[in-house]
Amino acid sequence: MTQTSDNVTWLTQEAYDQLKAELDHLSGPGRIAIATKIEEARQEGDLKENAGYHAAKEEQGKQEARIRQLSQLLEHAKVGEAPADTGIVAPGMVVTIAFDGDPDDTVTFLLGSREYVTSGMEIYSPQSPLGSAVNGKKVGEDADYELPNGNKAAVKILEAKPHAG
């Protein structure tokens, strides 16, 4: 799981290892594979009308952007333990909330960074309005936050458990 604070991103060892493996693949075998695609497309002839060449160059650009993003993230990362199961909301926890205290209107999400996702679960950043409102609260407490339209919303924290990966 991750927690971003200024330029520092807190990662569990598992998250760090997974992101490092992705970076190693993209900057090694991934670069070789895309260079091969570009060379094969280049040999097909006129580059102005070569869709395969342009697609491969676009893919290369996206890959290089991801390499830069991962490099910067990992360079500033601090590796630590997953949050303790204390019932206090913290990054790296799966949180269940009820809107306006209604137990039938609930949402469960991971409080963390989108960089490390291992499931299809919704993710809220600790810096988001909802994330910052619930961060540090205990199970059973209420939190208020501002919606994008300027209205206020109230939630009750029903559960907060460390993410199991």
- Residues 9 and 74 grouped into a single domain: yes
Total Cβ atoms within 10 A of residue 100: 10
Provide the domain limits for residue 128.
93-162
Query: How many structural domains compose the chain?
Result: 2
pTM score, two decimals? 0.59
Which band of pLDDT confidence, cut at 50, 70 and 90, is reported for residue 75? confident
Q: Is residue 85 part of a domain?
A: no
- Residues 107 and 51 grouped into a single domain: no
Q: What is the pLDDT of residue 31?
A: 94
